[in-house]
A and B are shown apart, each in its own frame.
Chain A
């Protein structure tokens, strides 16, 4: 902390990167000072993960330079980056589950019994005990396997692995995503200790209070640009939140006649212990409802329950006055519900089928005449959706594999749109698509509602929710904290509610 401010260890300058026509980074510059904890924040799609992958050597930038310790890197490989002392603590803990702690720590640089080709297991155990005790005050039994450890312990083992290489920089990518409070606190203590030891830390997180508590400086990314770098002593969580949010995209959203009709879907006191509790709502024809909540708030689980992907313990779901049912995806589809899942590449599309096949797969009965597929109808519907969603593809027969991620996503949405359902459940419909595609998707959602469908959108993009929906239900710790009218909602108030830093939750607690 006594190092002069000019001592820059990593300097990124004018970094640009596109994927399949969609610009992920459009000119990011960043200077990270030695011995500091530097936060990196931004909403989904702001470019955080792309930036980190560039730094890790997993992608090459289209333009711009990366300098490490004053040395300009021309071709960045993971190996080159690591040999310069930059190590990454990834979200997914890359440790062999059947190994002991010692084996996992020393894999790739195993100590041998002097003068023999044999592993020195005793030394591995002793040194593993030593370093875990020294760095983290953690003592694990020698026989403990990685699979037996808690998530936090695994993370500690992985950090320790990196520390054995005497790194100069450690990059943490959303490290608390799977930790509980006590474990996260431990991690923060640890990061402060690393800083005292002179290690530079880059800390990426969604959670502003973590940034506030931990970082010396923070850089805010928005739409692929670095919009500000601030010293934490001169800023606040609310200012950072303001910087994260793009305030100039109001006209992205279509103006829509908001005249909700008859009730379409009624949820009455739906509960699933440990996930969500007593959730009730009514979705009307022509209405777009927004759901928002952090990971673990129950919002996503609730949405998945509506489509029958998870089961509730009590409560009822009624569609258009029909008998309530314990949903299964088949029954949900029969009741004209459609779900566009978030992980579209895994659950939503078949990469080895064509655009056309993917589009009509879920609604083949519509295109079937006398048991045969009506190709003309199928093709014209596909062409219509390709144009409608502006899918960038060589044509309807192109394999989905050849499309960019954002365009694959559009096809996944098209697939469910062509079903012509009554109720659409959209899970993060615009994650990973570029801004032009977002506008198309928004227009489409508005069109669905205007034609009398009911839409529920789960999104972590606050602007999107406010611009797109009629009402927003805020999930916090398994309950609906409150319902707000979108017209009067503000990003700041939503953010405060979602993260639990609003007055209301403080009183409630």
Chain B
């Protein structure tokens, strides 16, 4: 009997009891850590809301809340684009999906929109051109990453600089004002007095969330990102999904460009400063999701969280340098926590 056991089960542990007990214990610890990270994120969010509400009387006013949403709209749309890239490219911070060109993309798209409007083009042409600009930038990223196999971190870093340069050429580093019916509508207030931009963000998030979290396409994108070998074994063309994710993030850059033109009544310089908040938002997203994976709803919540932080600091008259310091700190915290968890999961 013993002999047979040994033959059939090559991996029978020498002391089965001990072997089994160790992973079980560390599993429980892992679950606790995950729950802590998630619960902690929501607790921190609630705490931040509470502190700002107590320390600033206007924080909870409908006007201010609407303002937070409007402010978050631009970085939120970009962060959602970035999240799709991260989902399809995998969460590895170095080799996984990332699109650093998004903020520059938004800047160029806004500049394209503003320039065309100033040149007397109708809204449809200007908006179409802004979206097309974003899409082309996404296509360049897609080709660099899938065709030439450059890691996204480097490919999009290079594209970021090219796009930033193009924006300088186009605008001569000046502000291009634009006042068009589309921009006026977007920057105005919609139903319930909530800014239209806020509806834009929520609408965009909703459509993307449905596509990513409720369709076969979305499930496949998730599979491609989290385990490309498994996706390939399921007959999925991995590179096409990755390329598609960059096209989508490019398009979100174009959309954010229009939003930004609306919010700032034209195109301004310094779009690159938005990169850090966008990356923070996307990386923070997983702690607001159930499985601790990047998700659109998680990123939306995280966009609001970052928006609340920035708004609250403004209300409390804290310097903006402090804000970017805190954002950097958040990146370090979240990335190290999730990386450690992943390493434990093996």
A interface residue numbers (CB < 8 A to B): 79, 82, 90, 92, 94-99, 103-104, 107-108, 110, 112, 117-119, 121, 145, 147, 176-181, 184-185, 206-210, 213, 273-277, 294-296, 298, 476-478, 499-502, 505-506, 508-509
Contact = CB atoms under 8 A, between A and B. Distances in A.
Given A118-B214, A506-B3, A177 B219 contact: no
Interface string B111-154: 00000000000000000000000000000000000000000000
A108 B235 CA distance: 7
Contact of B11 (A90, A295, A476, A478): A295
A505 B6 contact: yes
Contacts of B216: 110, 112, 117, 119
A274 to B, nearest CB: 5
Given A119-B216, A500-B6, A97 B227 contact: yes
Contacts, number: 139
Q: Could you say which of A121, A181, A207, A208 has the most chain B C-beta atoms within 10 Å of its C-beta? A: A181
28 contacts: A94-B229, A95-B227, A95-B230, A96-B231, A98-B293, A99-B219, A107-B223, A108-B234, A110-B216, A117-B217, A118-B210, A118-B214, A118-B215, A145-B291, A180-B16, A181-B5, A207-B7, A208-B7, A274-B14, A295-B11, A296-B12, A477-B14, A478-B14, A499-B3, A499-B6, A501-B4, A501-B7, A509-B2
Given A274-B18, A298-B14, A499 B293 contact: no
Contacts of A92: 229
Nearest to A124: B219
A125 to B, nearest CB: 13
Contacts of B214: 118-119, 121
A509 B1 contact: yes
B311 interface: no
A509 B8 CA distance: 16
A505 B3 contact: yes
B291 to A, nearest CB: 6
A382 to B, nearest CB: 32
A219 B23 CA distance: 39
Contact of A273 (B2, B18, B226): B18
A223 to B, nearest CB: 24
Given A500-B2, A501-B3, A176 B231 contact: no
The A contact surface, by secondary structure, is: loop
Contact of A98 (B8, B13, B231, B291): B291
B9 A179 contact: yes
B235 A96 contact: no
A146 B131 CA distance: 39
B19 interface: yes
A287 B201 CA distance: 74
Interface string B71-86: 0000000000000000
Contacts of B236: 107-108
B343 interface: no
Given A96-B222, A181-B8, 7 more contacts: A96-B226, A99-B223, A107-B230, A117-B215, A176-B8, A274-B18, A500-B7
Contacts of A95: 227, 230
Contacts of B215: 112, 117-119
Q: Could you say which of A95, A121, A298 has the most chain B C-beta atoms within 10 Å of its C-beta? A: A95
A184 B12 CA distance: 11
Contacts of B9: 176, 179-181, 184
Interface residues of B, number: 40
B7 A94 contact: no
A274 B19 contact: yes
A476 B8 CA distance: 14
A112 B230 CA distance: 21
Nearest to A118: B214
Contacts of B28: none
Contacts of A103: 219
Contacts of A208: 7
Contact of B2 (A82, A276, A505): A505
Contacts of B235: 79, 82, 108
Contact of A181 (B12, B19, B233): B12
Contacts of A179: 9, 11
A177 B236 CA distance: 28
Nearest to B224: A96
Nearest to A104: B230
Interface string B14-26: 1110110000000
A195 B3 CA distance: 27
A107 B3 contact: no
A103 to B, nearest CB: 6
A209 B14 contact: no
Contact of B7 (A210, A274, A295): A210
A145 B27 CA distance: 14
A98 B215 CA distance: 17
Nearest to A508: B2
A117 B217 CA distance: 9
B57 interface: no
B8 A209 contact: yes
Interface string B232-276: 011110000000000000000000000000000000000000000
Q: Could you say which of B13, B233, B234 has the most chain A C-beta atoms within 10 Å of its C-beta? A: B233
Given A96-B222, A96-B227, A112-B216, A180 B3 contact: no
B191 interface: no
A477 B9 CA distance: 11
Contacts of A185: 8
B193 interface: no
Contacts of A476: 6
Contact of B226 (A98, A209, A478): A98
Contacts of B217: 117
Contacts of A505: 2-3, 6
Q: Could you say which of A96, A104, A275 has the most chain B C-beta atoms within 10 Å of its C-beta? A: A96
Q: Could you say which of A117, A118, A274 has the most chain B C-beta atoms within 10 Å of its C-beta? A: A274
Contacts of A207: 7-8, 10
A296 B12 CA distance: 6
B156 to A, nearest CB: 24
B219 A110 contact: yes
B14 A94 contact: no
Given A107-B231, A108-B220, A177 B7 contact: no
